[in-house]
Chain A
Amino acid sequence: MKLSKRTVWSAAVAVSATFTTGYVMADGHTADVYEPYAGTTLVVNFPAHPHYNAVLEVLDDFTDETGIEVEVDQLQYLKMRERQTLELTKDEGDYDLIAYVVFSKADYVYADQLENLAKYFMNPKLANPAYDAEDLIDGYVQNIGVAGGKKGYLPGPTGSLFGIPFGSETSVLAYRKDIFEKHGIAVPENYDQLLEVACQIPEVEEGMGGMASRAASGHQASHAFLLHLAPLGGRVFDDEWNPTINNEAGVAAANALKTIVDCGPEGSQTFGPAEAAASFKQGNAAMFMDSIAFAAGFEDPSQSTVAGKVGYALHPEGVRRGSQTGGFGIAIPRNAQNKEAAFLLMQWLTSKEGDLKVAMAGGNPSRFSTYENAELNEKFPYSATFGEALKYADPDWRPIIPTWGKINADIGTTMSQVLTEGLDPQEALDGVAERARAIMDEAGYYTWQ
């Protein structure tokens, strides 16, 4: 903690000012825990993402309450990782708190670059007894925060907590209520219905695609494929790390994606998530199945022509229910310079009050209680559906292991070939499985076999 006498004094003045205005936190606990840290400036790295845009709106409240200043470095979410990797390998990092994409968890924890949060939650001066960690959405905590459990990335007795989910997402099906009603189409509940409706729409509604989906070569195509793999009963690896991506379920998922893209709006093959969402917003597609983070944009009349016409349903069921788990968590880098103050910010943001504030500003809740909040449901009527969807959020829909970047890219490029060059799905996935096995072998995953 680097605090000069002057900053402590000015902080004390700031805190006493807070007291004289009679401010008391909502849970009845006063702001004096923040006193030693007032005047500190935290540097945080957040993605440019609807959730974190909402966070920016409430950060001032944090500074008002605690006297801790926050400086935000916002980056495009796929660019964050490069930057963070550089920062985390330095002796003294510039970031005190980072938001990380869920698949970075494996790399950062494996390279020992994130603080284990146990010592902060054990510290009575820092940990808020009213935090109520049970209220955090368990699927997210396990998927995004915990590392070291089963297979290294799944929940299990050997896991421990390195981050807290914040801006986490699952997948839901967004559909055009007006179009479905006009043609008497029922909202799809399983995959057969989904694929049928996806190809029925372009026939009955001139110029409209069935479902807008991401499909661009690389990460996007892989993401889209995996979105269907879990509900259709597939997994990338079995419990012994043997690739199972090329089994029947894998082929079914690839075919599902191909059907969706073929019946989708013009040019679907190159859509990233933003383009797919834009296509839905402009009324060029009747369905959109992706992260809940896009919903706020659909309902915003200044950027969407379909505001108010969108219904939300659970991710359809294949042989099981399995919506994605993804998005971001926040963690404290090992080389951070203001770790304790960073923990206080982390705790404040993910507390019941913080989570609700961010959600009211358009963010994605990380807590069950936020989803049940009446005020929020009134402002965003879809919140209840999203809360329901979370019960089926599947933490194992994609493996979060250090070799994933390479395998993910390979799945994405190969899937793009299936979508655009007519490569046979079985042949494509056999190739992926073979290359994945070689990558896993090289990384030592078969050492114990």
Chain B
Amino acid sequence: MSIARANRMTPYLFLAPAGLVLLIALFYPICYMIYASFLDWNPSQRIGEADWVGIRNYVKLFSDDAFRESMWVTIKFAAVVVTLEMIIGVGLALLLDRNIRGMSVLRTLFILPMMIAPIVVGLMWRYMYHPTVGIFNQTLTSWGFEPIPWLSDGSWAFASIIIADVWQWTPFIFILSLAALQSLPSSAIEASKIDGATGWQQIIYIKLPLMLPVLIVTLLLRLIDSFKVLEVILVMTNGGPGLSTEILSIRINRTASEFRELGEAAAMSNLLLIVLLILTFAMFIYNKAQELRAQRLRAAAEDTE
């Protein structure tokens, strides 16, 4: 009797440590952040001394132009960056999906940017964008062109951080899509060849549709990541000039350390978390839908046999 019960309990006992870690490491901080977002709390106070202000922080955020601007910059940034990275990353993968000598060396070279610490990436690009001694402007002036105000003009600065991010994260999409390409069933591709499909037709009608599940997951991962990017932009522009590159995570950082409003910063983080949760759920639902569809197709195929 008791042995049977102990047996039933065993899985839960094994799960308990993991559950406990999850509870302490994940739920506690999140609950703390949610609680803090209802407080008027400055860093010189202990949390117990902070005043409860209800949803004032949230109300304030939605009427705050700077926050709305920063939200817009973030969305714009994420959209542009992810689109560019997807196009270039998948394009590169399609180009390099063949047997070239030294391919493994090339692949390592391609993913190098991803391996560099973000602060270093930021510093590196900042020096390259330097108005006088930076390599870009020096090259431009030596070719007789006007130097470009890379980081000192709002629109250029926005373009500059996009270039840096694309440089750093395209390899991520590249290796994932290359892996997807190489695991495609060769039978389908061979069949299309026999049917006389051109290279483009192969890509558009065979490869891309087959890669789609991987591509969607990659896209969502990058999208989530691009909403949270901080260090590179912090080092390069610190959100300036004006608010032109002040993405949400920089705004949160400034709100906490410069404006000393921990409550408001927590409220912003919660909003960011909600946006990311929606994206994650979208990914989850898409995966589920794909699975169901595959099951249905398999079932249909089995029926017809």
Interface set of A (CB-CB < 8 Å, partner B): 81-82, 85-86, 88-89, 107-108, 110-111, 113, 216-219, 221, 265-270, 284, 402, 405-406, 408-409, 413-414, 416-417, 419-421, 423
Residues of A within 8 A of B137 (CB): 266
Closest to A82 in B: B257
When A and B form their complex, what is the total count of cross-chain residue pairs whose Cβ atoms lie within 8 Å? 99
- 20 A–B pairs (Cβ distance < 8 Å), ordered by A: A86-B43, A107-B260, A108-B44, A111-B44, A113-B44, A217-B237, A266-B132, A267-B131, A267-B152, A269-B153, A269-B241, A270-B237, A406-B259, A413-B239, A417-B241, A417-B242, A420-B153, A420-B242, A421-B244, A423-B242
CA distance A82 to B154 in the complex (A): 29
| Pick from A111, A217, A423: contact of B239, CB under 8 Å | A217
CA distance A216 to B43 in the complex (A): 25
CA distance A268 to B96 in the complex (A): 43
Residues of B within 8 A of A416 (CB): 240-242
B254 at the interface (CB under 8 A from A): yes
Q: State how many angstroms separate the Cβ of A136 from the closest Cβ of chain B.
A: 27
Interface string of B153-167 (1 = CB under 8 A from A): 110000000000000
Q: Check if B45 sits within 8 Å of A266, measured CB to CB.
A: no
Q: Check if A88 sits within 8 Å of B44, measured CB to CB.
A: yes
Residues of B within 8 A of A113 (CB): 44
Q: Check if A405 sits within 8 Å of B259, measured CB to CB.
A: yes
Q: Check if B152 sits within 8 Å of A218, measured CB to CB.
A: no
Q: Check if A266 sits within 8 Å of B131, measured CB to CB.
A: yes
Q: Check if B45 sits within 8 Å of A218, measured CB to CB.
A: no
With contacts A113-B44, A267-B131 taken as known, whether A409 is within 8 angstroms of B238 at the C-beta atoms is no
Residues of B within 8 A of A221 (CB): 240
Q: State how many angstroms separate the Cβ of A410 from the closest Cβ of chain B.
A: 8
Residues of A within 8 A of B207 (CB): none
CA distance A81 to B254 in the complex (A): 13
Residues of A within 8 A of B242 (CB): 217, 413-414, 416-417, 420-421, 423
4 shortest interchain CB distances as A-B pairs: A217-B240, A267-B131, A269-B152, A111-B44
Residues of B within 8 A of A108 (CB): 44
Closest to A414 in B: B242
- The residues in B between 221 and 243 inclusive whose CB is less than 8 angstroms from any CB of A are 237-243
CA distance A267 to B132 in the complex (A): 7
Closest to A112 in B: B44
B101 at the interface (CB under 8 A from A): no
Closest to B141 in A: A266
Residues of A within 8 A of B238 (CB): 216-218
Q: Is the interface of B mostly helix, strand, loop or mixed?
A: loop
Residues of B within 8 A of A268 (CB): 152
Residues of B within 8 A of A408 (CB): 258
Interface string of B29-55 (1 = CB under 8 A from A): 000000000000011111000000000
Q: Check if A267 sits within 8 Å of B43, measured CB to CB.
A: no
B147 at the interface (CB under 8 A from A): yes
CA distance A419 to B132 in the complex (A): 19
Q: Check if A269 sits within 8 Å of B239, measured CB to CB.
A: no
Q: Check if B237 sits within 8 Å of A409, measured CB to CB.
A: no
Q: Check if A89 sits within 8 Å of B258, measured CB to CB.
A: no
Q: State how many angstroms separate the Cβ of B102 from the closest Cβ of chain A.
A: 40
Residues of B within 8 A of A110 (CB): 44
Interface centre among A110, A270, A406 (most CB of B within 10 A): A270
B66 at the interface (CB under 8 A from A): yes
Closest to B137 in A: A266
Closest to A86 in B: B43
Q: State how many angstroms separate the Cβ of B129 from the closest Cβ of chain A.
A: 9
Q: Check if A409 sits within 8 Å of B259, measured CB to CB.
A: yes
| Pick from A107, A284, A402, A420: contact of B154, CB under 8 Å | A420
Interface centre among B44, B238, B239, B257 (most CB of A within 10 A): B44
Q: Check if B241 sits within 8 Å of A270, measured CB to CB.
A: yes
Residues of A within 8 A of B237 (CB): 217, 270
Q: Check if A413 sits within 8 Å of B66, measured CB to CB.
A: yes
With contacts A113-B44, A409-B259, A421-B154 taken as known, whether A267 is within 8 angstroms of B239 at the C-beta atoms is no
B90 at the interface (CB under 8 A from A): no
Q: Check if B147 sits within 8 Å of A413, measured CB to CB.
A: no
Q: Check if B66 sits within 8 Å of A405, measured CB to CB.
A: no
- The residues in B between 127 and 180 inclusive whose CB is less than 8 angstroms from any CB of A are 130-132, 137, 147, 149, 151-154
Q: Check if A421 sits within 8 Å of B46, measured CB to CB.
A: no
Interface string of B283-296 (1 = CB under 8 A from A): 00000000000000
Residues of B within 8 A of A269 (CB): 149, 152-153, 241
With contacts A270-B151, A270-B237, A420-B153 taken as known, whether A413 is within 8 angstroms of B243 at the C-beta atoms is yes
Q: Check if B240 sits within 8 Å of A85, measured CB to CB.
A: no
Residues of B within 8 A of A419 (CB): 241
Q: Check if B43 sits within 8 Å of A420, measured CB to CB.
A: no
CA distance A268 to B153 in the complex (A): 11
Q: Check if B132 sits within 8 Å of A265, measured CB to CB.
A: yes
Residues of A within 8 A of B260 (CB): 107, 402, 405-406
Residues of B within 8 A of A81 (CB): 257
CA distance A81 to B42 in the complex (A): 13
Q: State how many angstroms separate the Cβ of B70 from the closest Cβ of chain A.
A: 11
CA distance A113 to B238 in the complex (A): 30
Closest to B46 in A: A89
Q: State how many angstroms separate the Cβ of A263 from the closest Cβ of chain B.
A: 14
